[in-house]
A and B are shown apart, each in its own frame.
Chain A
Amino acid sequence: MKDNTRTPSKGRQRLKSAMYTLLPLITIVVFILIWALLNITGAVDDAKVPPPWEVFKAFIFKLSNTGPDGALLITNVLASLQVTLTGLVLAIGIGVPLGVIMGWYRLFDKFIRPLFEILRPIPPVAWIPLMILWAGVGLGAKSLIIFISAFVPCVINSYTGVRQTNPTLINVAKTFGAKDFYIFINIGIPSAVPMIFAGMRVSFSSAWATLVAAEMLAASSGLGYMINMARNFGRIDVVVLGMLCIGILGTIFNWLFGRLEKLVLKGRAV
Chain B
Amino acid sequence: MNKYRKVVSLLVVLVMVFVAFSGCNSVQPSSEQSVSESQQAEVSQSETASEASVSAVDETSLEYFTSKIEPLSETVHLNVGACAGILHDLPAYIAYSSGLLEKMGIECEMVYFNNGPMMAEAMKAGSVDCGGYGLGGLLYGSVQDIASIIHIRANEAIVQKYFAKNDSDLAQSGLNAATGFYGTAEDWAGKQVYCPPGTTLQYLLGKMMGKLDMTFEDIDPVYMDAPNVNTALYAGQGEVWGLWNLYGYATEVQENYTELANGETMGLKFYCGSVASNLALEDPVKKEAISKWLECELAIIEWMNASPDNKKAAADSYYQWCEEQGIAAEPDVIANYVNEFNFFSLEDNYTLLSDKTADGNLLAEDGVLSAMEFFIEQGNYTEEDKAKITDGNFTNEFIVEIMDRWGVSH
Contact = CB atoms under 8 A, between A and B. Distances in A.
A72 to B, nearest CB: 11
Given A70-B379, A218-B228, A229-B197, A47 B144 contact: yes
A129 B231 contact: yes
Nearest to A136: B237
Interface stretch (A20-28, A30-38, A198-206, A230-238): A230-238
A231 B144 CA distance: 12
B235 A136 contact: yes
Contacts of B378: 67, 70
Interface string B123-134: 011000000000
A137 interface: yes
Given A68-B379, A229-B197, A216 B228 contact: yes
Interface string B213-241: 00000000111110010011011011000
Majority SS at the chain A contact face: loop
A67 B225 contact: no
Contacts of A132: 228, 231-232, 235, 237
Nearest to A232: B198
A225 B136 CA distance: 17
Interface centre among B117, B124, B223 (most CB of A within 10 A): B223
A128 B232 CA distance: 11
Contacts of A136: 232, 235, 237
Contacts of A217: 224, 228
Interface in B131-146: 136, 140, 143-144
Contacts of A231: 117, 121
Interface in A114-160: 128-129, 132-133, 136-137
A101 to B, nearest CB: 33
A232 B117 contact: yes
B149 to A, nearest CB: 16
Contacts of A229: 197-198, 380
B231 to A, nearest CB: 5
Contacts of A216: 224-225, 228
A232 B124 contact: no
Nearest to B197: A229
Contacts of B375: 233
Given A218-B223, A233-B381, A128 B228 contact: yes
A218 B117 contact: no
B136 A66 contact: no
A90 interface: no
Contact of A220 (B115, B117, B222, B225): B222
Given A132-B237, A133-B234, A133-B235, A234 B140 contact: yes
A65 B380 CA distance: 11
A70 B379 CA distance: 7
B240 to A, nearest CB: 13
Contacts of B194: 137, 218
Interface in A53-72: 65-70
A133 B379 contact: no
A137 B381 contact: no
Contact of B144 (A65, A70, A234): A234
A142 to B, nearest CB: 11
A219 interface: yes
B125, B198, B381 interface centre (most CB from chain A within 10 Å): B198
A229 B136 CA distance: 12
B140 A133 contact: no
11 contacts: A66-B379, A68-B380, A128-B228, A129-B228, A132-B232, A133-B231, A137-B222, A137-B224, A232-B380, A234-B120, A234-B144
Which 4 A-B residue pairs are closest in the complex by CB-CB distance? A67-B379, A218-B224, A232-B198, A133-B235
Given A70-B378, A232-B140, A233-B140, 8 more contacts: A47-B124, A68-B380, A132-B235, A133-B231, A137-B222, A232-B117, A234-B140, A234-B143
